[in-house]
Amino acid sequence: MASASNRVVKIAAVQAAPVSFDLDKSLEKLTKLTAEAAGAGADLVVFPEAFLSAYPWRYAFDATIGTREPRGREWYAKYYDSAVAVPSPAVDIISKTAKSHGVYIQVGIIEKEGGTLYCTALLIGRDGSVLLKHRKLIPTAAERLVWGRGAGDGLGVVQTDIGKIGTLICWENYMPAARMALYQQGVEIYLAPNADDLPSWVASMQHIAKEGRCFVVSVNSMCRVSDFPKDYPPFTAEHHDRKPDGSKWEPDDIINHGGSFVVGPLGVPLTQPVWDKEAIIYADLKTSEVIESRLDFDPVGSYARPDVFTLTVNTKPGTNVNFTR
């Protein structure tokens, strides 16, 4: 994409909910939606944070300071069972789907390694190969109770035939140094899978696109109570959790409103945020616009001051300890 060609790249941002806590059915949904997007001509299909196979809305697995309840441990085990190891048969299905349709797929997964879960973005190439595995550096708020922390080895930007692709997950996008790490690598298609449906998020995505002089794909899920198991604790009658108005949750109640959209490298939306429905949002990215946008501002070029600022990224893997005898 760095050349000033007029090539057009088609992006598909999939605003959909997983079949929460059911990996097989969530994979079926991914396969179906990818086929639909590929049939519409997409080069890159992007799924939300934790699509495989649950963002555990409104549940901290019964963990409080000093206490963990047995029910929470049981649900953590269910969550673990619906998570994805890398490599695994689940990854093979994603890879086969990408290869059969000749598309790039990025999907948010809950990754399991050992007994720990990670919030991860997995980028798969047209040939089915794993191009990037990025673990969320800092889980947000109560997410820290159930997800481990990522490391700098996932802060990569991948050169592809459609441009340089990089990703940060949800509130990692509020980490200036993390964004700069992608800018330094020349990111052109910046993927932002998230679980944030606040109005302020829209402004943040526009700012990042304009700051990084890159295309930004913000993709969120839209989910309802009915997307979760009937016995999922936050939405059961005996649980203390209630809607803001104090009433009980109903199957059709919306938990996450979505708001997925795509922004151009001058911060101008290419699509408008989509709310309260599942949809595939398509956008045509004109590759020449990346270079055009850098005429007057380039965060690591004309506007860089390496004599004043430096950024060092530790790209070593995480601190997991391997014991040998």
> Is-catalytic flag, 119?
no
The whole-number pLDDT of residue 22 equals 98
Question: 69-94 pLDDT, tens per residue?
Answer: 999 999 999 999 999 999 999 999 99
Dihedral sign for Cα 86, 137, 43, 36, please. positive
The whole-number pLDDT of residue 2 equals 47
The whole-number pLDDT of residue 323 equals 45
> Is-catalytic flag, 170?
yes
Q: Choose the catalytic residue: 170, 172, 188, 211.
A: 170
Computed over every residue of the chain, the mean pLDDT equals 94
Q: How confident is the model at residue 1 (pLDDT cuts 50, 70, 90)?
A: low
Architecture (CATH level 2) of domain 8-293: 4-Layer Sandwich (3.60)
Residue indicated by tokens 């295309």: 215
The whole-number pLDDT of residue 248 equals 87
d(CA 143, CA 161): 35
Residue 322 has pLDDT above 60, yes or no: no
Q: What are phi and psi of 319, to 5 degrees?
A: -95, 30
Q: Choose the catalytic residue: 29, 136, 164, 210.
A: 136
Domain spans in the chain, listed from the N-terminal domain onward: 8-293
Q: Choose the catalytic residue: 49, 143, 172, 211.
A: 49
> Is-catalytic flag, 136?
yes
Residue 313 burial by Cβ neighbours in a 10 Å radius (0-12, 13-18, 19+): middle
What's the average model confidence in pLDDT over 81-110?
98
Q: What are phi and psi of 257, to 5 degrees?
A: -90, -5
